[in-house]
A = this chain, B = another copy of it.
Amino acid sequence: MADTGSHGYSDTKAAHLARLRRIVGQVRGLARMVEEDTYCIDILTQVAATTKALQATALQLLDEHLEHCVTAAVAKGGADKDEKLREVSQALARLTRV
């Protein structure tokens, strides 16, 4: 069962869901372009736009995570704070693909 209301993105859940639904539409659009033999370069332009939309989602989630979860952990201090900062660091490394 879902743990409700406790995450950074709780207040913005509807906005995230709307954005992800649009991205689903973009990826389906890519499949349709391949199906209809669209010119490769035009497909690549849409792949770049879709990737950008996904990255924007990630940044938004990360902002909210910093603002809520990390801020709360910092206020408490101790091991939980260190763990949260370590997690953020690893998430950033994955998102920037270093």
The proximity string for A residues 51-71 relative to B, scoring 1 for CB distances below 8 Å and 0 otherwise, is 110111111011111110111
A34 to B24, CA, bound (A): 14
With a CB–CB cut-off of 8 A, which chain B residues contact A92?
A: 59, 62-63, 92
Q: Tell me the smallest distance from the CB of A89 to a CB of chain B, in Å.
A: 5
A51 to B61, CA, bound (A): 15
User: A40 is contacted by which of B4, B8, B27, B43 (Cβ under 8 Å)?
Assistant: B8
- Measured CB to CB, the residues of A under 8 A from B are 2-10, 13, 16-17, 20-21, 23-24, 27-28, 30-31, 34-41, 43-45, 47-48, 50-52, 54-59, 61-67, 69-71, 74-75, 81, 85, 87-89, 91-98
